[in-house]
Structure 1
Amino acid sequence: MGNPPAAKLKRPRILPLLLAQFVIMCAAAGLGAYVGGMAAAVSALLGGGVALLPNAYFAWRAFRYQGAQRTRDIIKSFYRAEAGKFGLTVALFTLVFVTVPPSNPAFFFGAYVATLFVHWLGPWLLRRPSHT
């Protein structure tokens, strides 16, 4: 009788969530182009990008480690990822409003919020298929 294999948590599948956010960002830009022209489309792309880029950074930084022996590294990476995400969000908002002020704030903030709301779909997008 040998020891049972150690439990190993799998990394979450973040790519479907990021792809869903990208799709929402593009859909908002398409809607903006249809309703308000190129200026609204660019505003929507900027808003979606301000939401998407920090989330991609968080996913890249937060899920670098796995395994029980790396618990401290995992915790540190989550704190650093969240701090970096917050800082990147502030920097991107500042960059957008200083260099390219959105000509259509409704589409900018609408796309930002819609892209963030994709997180609510996370439990469905990130679940692993059952093998029954």
Structure 2
Amino acid sequence: MAARKRRPSLRPLWVAQLAAMALMVGLAAGFMGATDAVSALVGSAVALLPNAYFAWRVFRVRGGRQARRAVHGLYRAAAGKFGLTVALFALVFVSVPLSNHALFFGAYVVTLFAYWLASWLVARQTPN
């Protein structure tokens, strides 16, 4: 019987994104003030929440016999992530008075880069 492949842990991805969020909020609070730290927090959250939704949807299906269902779930997760990202951006710009838009987008981009970098490192360390 073939050995079961373990799924890679999502912990490094979450740790990287939460560290990026903490770094951006801490830098904003330290150098610019509490109101700008809120802009950084909201920007990081707009990146973090859709990624959490995507991971939750993708890893619901397990097993090799459910490949078609897994691919379908992947497409639904990607569409949901995109829709959630658009909705969060719209919600933020309509309802949250941001003091620093550049910091909002900077925190968003840094949090996304942390996710991409961590996922690349996890993929490199996972044995075949």
TM-score (norm 1): 0.87
Q: Distance in 2 between matches of 1:41 and 1:125?
A: 30
1:44 and 1:82 map into 2 onto residues whose CA distance is: 25
Where structure 1 has 5 or more consecutive residues not aligned to the other structure, the ranges are: none
Instruction: Indicate yes or no: 2:32 matched with 1:32.
Output: no
**TM-score scaled by length of structure 2:** 0.90
Counting aligned pairs with the same residue, the percent is 54
Moved over 4 A (4+): none
d(CA) in 2 for partners of 1:40 and 1:60?
30
1:115-130 to 2 correspondence within 5 Å?
115-118=111-114, 119-125=116-122, 127-128=125-126
Structure 2 gap ranges (5+): none
2:94 is equivalent to residue 98 of structure 1: yes
Give 3-state SS (helix, strand or coil) of 1:96's partner: helix
Moved more, 108-117 or 95-104: 95-104
Superposition RMSD on alpha carbons, in Å? 1.5
Point out the structure with max Rg over C-alpha: 1
2:50 counterpart (36, 47, 54): 54
| 1:8 aligned residue (4, 29, 51) | 4
In structure 1, C-alpha distance between the alignment counterparts of 2:88 and 2:42, rounded to whole Å:
9
Measured after TM superposition, the shift of residue 101 of structure 1 is 2.9
2: CA distance between counterparts of 1:40 and 1:110?
12
Displacement of 1:120: 2.1
